Structure 1
Amino acid sequence: MRNIYIAIILAMGILSSCDQLLDIEPEFTQDAENFFNTPQDYERALVGAYDLMQTSYLSIWIGEIASDNAIAGGESVNDSRGLHEIDNMTHGGVNTELRDIMRFNYAGIARANYIFEHRDNLDFPGKDQIMAEASFLRAYYHFVLVSYFGDIPLVVDKRLSISEVTASVRTPKIQVYNQIETDLRNAINVLPWTNPETGRITKGAAQALLGKVLLYQNKYSEAAQVLDELISTNQAGYALFPDYATMFYLINENSSEDVFTIQYSGLQGGDYACFVCLQGNPAVGFHGIRLYNGPFYGDGNSYNLPTQNLYNAFDANDPRRDATLLDIDAFIAAQPNSGNISYAVGGGGHTGYYNNKYIKRLNERGLPDDDLTSPLNYRVIRFADVLLMAAESFQQSGNDERARVELNKVRARVGMPLITSSGNQLLQDIYRERRLELSGEGYRFFDLVRTGRAAESIEGFQAGKHELFPIPQVEIDLTGGNWQQNPGY
């Protein structure tokens, strides 16, 4: 919790990404007492609240590695040990990656709350949109935290004193979800469908996230209503990108399929000591092929390696298989100079497959350390996900016909046969389609948990325990034991 308090303090001064700190003028004069006096101050504070979303690499890793989709990989089992523990379902309260999830998302909440705390300082044109974007960001960070940890301390519209931080208790997740829904509905009422500044949150992004939040709570009828409005109104012109095979290439970013996307650039910002400072997407370089020397791809660190189980889940003629998984040996064998191509296998495990959606390609590298500076954006919610969430919500609400319509839009895009099933079989078909369409993007573990299929799908998963991740032990200690650990840990 001390880290949460530190994050709140940082929100008073660090209002942009780490590498921009030296640009603050005049030096040493901006603090909580003389900020929020101009519209530019609110804009800068909002940039700071957006900044923590760039830690999304953790969600890509954990959402796949905790499931049956991928193994941790890496140089050795001691390379990001926390990911290997999650892979093996042996993780506990001492885990660097899980602690980062808590720290980074609470830092994002603190920065959003700092804006709300000073919302009445000044009136100016466009302020309502700034507050709406801040509402969305606060909802997003809370949603990540409640998805990982369940009950969490709910902090709204204020910074906390040290005594308040140490005395805080975990709020029941139903109350956290209520706040998330409130924030998202407030954002939807204000935000425009489009924004000339790429990456800013829009009405469609807020509706899509609200639909997801409702679906995660099994509020199927409400989710269906929200997602139906998004699909039917669709003033942003969302549509499925026609070529799945190239959709995740840099040149096809910010397409009609991108509903909620976290933006990255090829600039450095930080280094291995400060991933939260990075402007590039580190997941891409870390997913790369270890010591690779050959065409098309760049070398990397062989993290988050897809499993044979995932490969086998695809039909052989489904184009999404090869777009999602790089079969490295098959790729090399198909090259005209295959004898000159080489790569290495890491001691952290090897499956023969790599995450082909978020992987380093030679013509998409950032500078100067291209393991850390990929400009590939993270597509948090694609329109295909919206359609599949709608299909699930409609089916669970008793509308199989509409569920098939949305499901088959996704299948038709890749030329796969249309689904004609109904009832429970249709629901299982929707679940399967989510895996085929969205693998490699960080959804799988949470889909398995929320639908009650995790214990049968994930080796080592213990029902009643692994649905949630453990609260970091250091945070429990810093509250003097006010927080109880999640069951089983």
Structure 2
Amino acid sequence: MKKIYKGILILTLGMVSACDSLLDIDPEFTQDAENFFNTQEDFDRAIIGVYDMMQPAYLNMWIGEIASDNAIAGGESVNDSRGLHEIENMSHGGVNEELRAVMRVNYTGIARANYIFENQDNIDFDGKALILSEAKFMRAYFYFNLVNYFGDMPLIVDRRISINEITSAERTPMATIYAQIETDLEEAIEVLPWTVSETGRLTKGAAMALLGKVLLYQDKYAEAATVLGELIDDNQAGYALFDDYSTLFYNENRNVAEDVFTIQFSGLQGGDYGCLVCLNGNAAVGFQSIRQYNGPLYADGNSYNLPTQDLYEAFAEGDIRREATVLDIEAFIAAQPNPDEITYAIGGGGHTGYYNNKYIKRLNERGLPDDDLTSPLNYRAIRWADVLLMAAEAFQRSGNDGRARTELNKVRERVDMPEINSSDEALYQAILDERRFELSGEGLRFFDLVRTGQAASRISGFVSGQHEIFPIPQVEIDLAGGIWQQNPGY
């Protein structure tokens, strides 16, 4: 089976070369736009360029966990990725490199998608509608990220985003952006196939799952229940829960029936520490692994994104997801036949005794040549268990507790946990709790707490009316000439 990997070609997107430019993250080697989009191969290469911009998924994974009660920033010191430590402490402001990277990466992805739409009428060929549908899906995904992080943002479609345009554009209300996201996904659903021959290509099921998520985030529960219920009932792709949760996140179990929307990686390098967005591998894995570790099963890393004791203790005894999600390093070492020979180091950025056991470097899963940067572990943006739990929430909130329990208990049955038989608000809370047990370590927790109104009661230092969204990077406000107002409280 063929597999889609990072593209060779990187297009110019109307960006200028100054280092402070809003969207200037592309390398210097570029394709002359005037001589492009004249063949089917050009469109094929261009859509791979859009796929590339989904690969900085480590940003969502880090921020979605570190901003919540699930993890601390960790790392070598508090000055090592200072922005993550500020997010952990809810002291982040307009100067934050990680948040700036979120904005730049997603707008670059939008620009690459829009570049295809700008040239869509150049030629006709079989398969063009499919490429345009993939571009619509990814544009929706990028805008969804932006509104969740920053709220109102400039909405530009069907053309490249030039420096002059983006810095003179007013911020568009979230409701308008959400309407465009829904339109893009609905149109993509009409064209995308249920299954693909090239692993990693987007599908109808992935678009339906993302649309259901988008609707859920807007509290459109009945609409979300309709979309997600149809996906579950029709399910022509054969999605299913993977039997063994304890090994689900092993490299050997990539691209299984549980994977609905997955961002693909390989063990090749592509970039380096100076250009993490250029990588072919999943950067999160090496960064989250055990510092200076020398022992069995695992390999050494940089001790970022460390799970909290609160997360570890949230799991019920006997729930196999606890060990699959959170590695208790001291307990693991003590259980080995040679514990005195196993060593590791503690970083100055904080230590909890726990590591993210889903996205962690294992000895037999390392890429080459710098295996801190070349993990082949895919990032599961949406998996089937998430679809079932989103559906359970949507059904419960729209008055169908019976169907909600059905979908919730499918997830619990997989890990041999007892059925939930509650109703009303108790059932709703059980669904939200199950999302933590099932999905922790995957970058969703902060956004779940915010959208359900539980962030202030769960996150230390969280200020209601401020921390639901992140600050606009100050340098982008400056580049926009002050027409962008900072988000409240920052």
Q: Normalization by structure 2: what TM-score?
A: 0.95
**Distance of aligned partners of 1:7 and 1:471 in 2 relative to their CA distance in 1, 3 Å threshold:** farther
Contact 1:7 1:106 in 2 (8 A): no
Q: Give CA-to-partner distance per residue, 1:9-55, whole Å, 9 cap, x none.
A: 389xxxxx979x87xxxxx8x42222111000001100001101010
In structure 2, what is the equivalent of residue 118 of structure 1?
Answer: 119
Per-residue deviation, 1:467: 0.1
In structure 1, what is the equivalent of residue 218 of structure 2?
Answer: 217
In structure 1, what is the equivalent of residue 463 of structure 2?
Answer: 462
Contact 2:14 2:162 in 1 (8 A): no
Structure 1 residue matching 2:399: 3-state secondary structure: coil
Q: Where does 1:340-489 land on structure 2 (aligned, <5 Å)?
A: 340-489=341-490
In structure 1, what is the equivalent of residue 271 of structure 2?
Answer: 270
1 CA distance for matches of 2:444 and 2:163?
Answer: 36
Query: Does residue 143 in structure 1 map to residue 144 in structure 2?
Result: yes
Q: Give CA-to-partner distance per residue, 1:46-94, whole Å, 9 cap, x none.
A: 0001101010000000000000000000000001000000000000000
Query: Does residue 170 in structure 1 map to residue 147 in structure 2?
Result: no
Counterpart amino acid of residue 277 in structure 2: V
Per-residue deviation, 1:380: 0.2
Q: Where does 1:196-215 land on structure 2 (aligned, <5 Å)?
A: 196-215=197-216
Q: Where does 1:42-441 land on structure 2 (aligned, <5 Å)?
A: 42-441=43-442
Structure 2 residue matching 1:33: 3-state secondary structure: helix
Q: Give CA-to-partner distance per residue, 1:245-289, whole Å, 9 cap, x none.
A: 000000000000000000000001010100011000010001110
Per-residue deviation, 1:316: 1.4
Counterpart amino acid of residue 375 in structure 2: S
**Distance of aligned partners of 1:84 and 1:370 in 2 relative to their CA distance in 1, 3 Å threshold:** same
Contact 1:8 1:111 in 2 (8 A): no
Per-residue deviation, 1:167: 1.4
Structure 2 residue matching 1:254: 3-state secondary structure: coil
2 CA distance for matches of 1:475 and 1:288?
Answer: 33
Contact 1:191 1:203 in 2 (8 A): yes
Query: Unaligned regions of 5+ residues in structure 2, if any?
Result: 1-10, 18-24
Q: Give CA-to-partner distance per residue, 1:155-191, whole Å, 9 cap, x none.
A: 1001244442331110000000000000000100000
Contact 2:111 2:161 in 1 (8 A): no
1 CA distance for matches of 2:167 and 2:173?
Answer: 18
Query: Unaligned regions of 5+ residues in structure 1, if any?
Result: 12-16, 23-27
2 CA distance for matches of 1:166 and 1:55?
Answer: 24
Counterpart amino acid of residue 73 in structure 2: A
Counterpart amino acid of residue 42 in structure 1: F
In structure 1, what is the equivalent of residue 8 of structure 2?
Answer: none
Counterpart amino acid of residue 300 in structure 1: G
1 CA distance for matches of 2:65 and 2:16?
Answer: 31
Per-residue deviation, 1:8: 3.7
Contact 1:262 1:377 in 2 (8 A): yes
Structure 1 window deviating more from structure 2 (163-172 vs 357-366): it is 163-172
Contact 1:150 1:468 in 2 (8 A): yes
Structure 2 residue matching 1:61: 3-state secondary structure: helix
Q: Give CA-to-partner distance per residue, 1:375-401, whole Å, 9 cap, x none.
A: 000000000000000000000000000
RMSD over aligned Cα, in angstroms?
A: 1.6
Structure 2 residue matching 1:167: 3-state secondary structure: coil
In structure 1, what is the equivalent of residue 15 of structure 2?
Answer: 9
**Distance of aligned partners of 1:487 and 1:18 in 2 relative to their CA distance in 1, 3 Å threshold:** closer
Counterpart amino acid of residue 429 in structure 1: A
2 CA distance for matches of 1:465 and 1:268?
Answer: 38
1 CA distance for matches of 2:453 and 2:76?
Answer: 33
Contact 2:215 2:223 in 1 (8 A): yes
Contact 2:266 2:280 in 1 (8 A): yes
1 CA distance for matches of 2:279 and 2:32?
Answer: 24
In structure 2, what is the equivalent of residue 32 of structure 1?
Answer: 33
In structure 2, what is the equivalent of residue 25 of structure 1?
Answer: none
Per-residue deviation, 1:111: 0.1
Structure 2 residue matching 1:430: 3-state secondary structure: helix
Counterpart amino acid of residue 271 in structure 1: D
Contact 1:73 1:304 in 2 (8 A): yes
Higher helix share: 1
Contact 2:268 2:374 in 1 (8 A): yes
2 CA distance for matches of 1:138 and 1:268?
Answer: 26
Contact 1:18 1:270 in 2 (8 A): no
Contact 2:134 2:188 in 1 (8 A): yes
Counterpart amino acid of residue 307 in structure 1: T
Counterpart amino acid of residue 477 in structure 2: I
1 CA distance for matches of 2:294 and 2:163?
Answer: 52
Question: What percent identity do the matched residue pairs reach?
Answer: 72
Structure 1 window deviating more from structure 2 (388-397 vs 160-169): it is 160-169
1 CA distance for matches of 2:230 and 2:47?
Answer: 28
Contact 2:303 2:347 in 1 (8 A): yes
Counterpart amino acid of residue 15 in structure 2: I
Q: Normalization by structure 1: what TM-score?
A: 0.95
Structure 1 residue matching 2:296: 3-state secondary structure: coil
Per-residue deviation, 1:337: 0.6
Paired residues, number:
473
Per-residue deviation, 1:6: 7.8
**Distance of aligned partners of 1:480 and 1:256 in 2 relative to their CA distance in 1, 3 Å threshold:** same
Q: Give CA-to-partner distance per residue, 1:410-437, whole Å, 9 cap, x none.
A: 0000000000000000000000000000
Counterpart amino acid of residue 449 in structure 2: L
Give every structure 1 segment of 4 or more consecutive aligned residues whose post-TM-superposition deviation is greater than 2 Å. Answer: 5-11, 160-166
In structure 2, what is the equivalent of residue 14 of structure 1?
Answer: none
